[in-house]
């Protein structure tokens, strides 16, 4: 008991880091989500797919991919029916963290080929991919 009291902060930090690693790295890999770079996306963008932007409305309004549909991360589970299951799904956010969580949820819900766009909208814009 004294150990727990003495090291409570360290235990909390270790648990937090473990949870973050699970959410962003381990969980997506176990679910079959693949990472997709801007260069890889340029190669496959002519193939049928659905691009899902999971950022908040303010972020979406500032800039977004022209072909993306907008479903904020907090609404993904309730709005999955808007995402076709018969196409590849590419999920994007600002940096890759939220899209990783959304992509994992989609893969766990039975979506076949699900990709997390690496680097988010920053990488998208840097690659010169079309935005609104």
> Residue 52: which of 76, 30, 28, 36 has the closest Cα?
76
| Tokens matching residue 59 | 């972020």
Distance CA 45, CA 40 (A): 9
Q: Tell me whether residue 131 is one of the annotated catalytic residues.
A: no
Exactly one of 93, 105, 107, 114 is catalytic; name it: 93
- In contact, 103 and 73? CB cutoff 8 Å: no
Provide the annotated active-site residues.
93
């Amino acid at each position: 008991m004294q150990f727990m009291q003495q090291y409570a902060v360290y235990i909390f930090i270790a648990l937090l880091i473990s949870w973050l690693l699970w959410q962003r790295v381990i969980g997506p890999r176990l679910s079959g989500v693949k990472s997709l770079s801007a260069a890889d996306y340029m190669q496959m963008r002519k193939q049928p797919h659905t691009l899902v932007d999971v950022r908040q409305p303010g972020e979406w309004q500032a800039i977004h991919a022209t072909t993306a549909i907008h479903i904020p991360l907090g609404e993904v589970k309730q709005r999955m029916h808007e995402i076709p299951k018969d196409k590849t799904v590419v999920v994007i956010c600002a940096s890759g963290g939220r899209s990783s969580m959304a992509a994992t949820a989609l893969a766990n819900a039975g979506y076949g080929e699900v990709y997390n766009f690496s680097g988010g909208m920053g990488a998208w814009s840097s690659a010169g991919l079309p935005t609104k």
